[in-house]
Amino acid sequence: MEEQRHSLHKITMAPSILSADFGYLSTEVESISRLSDWLHIDVMDGHFVPNLTIGPPVVEAIRRHSKAFFDVHLMMTNPENYFENFAKSGADSVTIHLEIGNTAERIAMARDHDLKVGLAINPDTEYELLRPYLSQIDLALVMSVFPGFGGQSFIPGVLDKIRRAREDIDREGYNVSLEVDGGVNKETIGLAAKAGAEVFVAGSAIFSHSDRGQAISELYHLALQALGR
C-alpha cells in the first residue's frame, strides 16, 4: 500500500549546476533547460559549509538562459540577508537549513518575498526536528551527503528519514515536495524513490555525461522502475 501511494507522486529531476563547468555555465544550463523542469542551484557561504559558490548575480545571469523552476539551496548561516536579492534575481524557491535555527521566523521572511520555501536537514539531524515544520513549507530536503562539495557517496542511513517524511506528508495531506540531494546516481535513485522521494538532485550523474538527455532519462526511468511503473 505504501508504494502505491508513492507511485501517485510525480518524479522530478533537478540537475545541480554545482557539477557543471562554470567556465561555460550558460551553455551548461541551456544543455539541460529543455530536459528538466527544475534546476538546483547550490549557494554556499564558506561558513555554514566549508566552500564558496555563487550568489544572486549569477542566478540572474543564468535565468536568462532557462525557464526552469529555480530550486535555490542556501547553505548559509544568515540566508535571510539574501532572500530579497535571490527573489529579484529569479529564484522560485529558497531552501534553508534547519540546523541554523530560528526556523519559523526565517520561513516567514522568505514568504514575505513571495518565495516558495524549502527546509533541509543534514544526514546527522534527527527527522523529528523537521516534522513540526511540514505544514509550513513547500519542500522538504533530506540531505544524503554532508553539504559542501559535489561528488560524494550516498549515505544509506537517510532512507529511513525519507520514508518517515513520506508517511507524514501523505497521512496529513501536506502539499510538500520531498527532495533528496547527494550521491544520487543510477545505483541509488531507485532506493530513494522506493523510500518516497519525488524530487532528485543529481550533479555529476548528469553533468559528467556528454549526452545530458540520456543521463536524465536513465535516472528518471530507474526511479519509475523502482516504483513498478
The three cell numbers locating residue 92: 522560485
> Exactly one of 45, 92, 168, 181 is catalytic; which is it?
181
Closest by CA to 139, choosing from 221, 212, 74, 81, is: 74
User: For residue 104, what is the enclosing H or E element?
Assistant: helix 103-111
Provide DSSP, 122-160: -TTS-GGGTGGGTTT-SEEEEESS-TT-SSPPP-GGGHH
DSSP summary character for residue 112 = T
42 catalytic? Reply is yes
Dihedral sign of CA atoms 158, 164, 167, 168 in order: negative
Choosing from 42, 45, 92, 138, which is the catalytic residue?
42
- Is 181 a known active-site residue? yes
Query: How many degrees, rounded to 5, is the angle at CA 104 between CA 71 and CA 50?
Result: 55
Q: Which residues are catalytic?
A: 42, 181
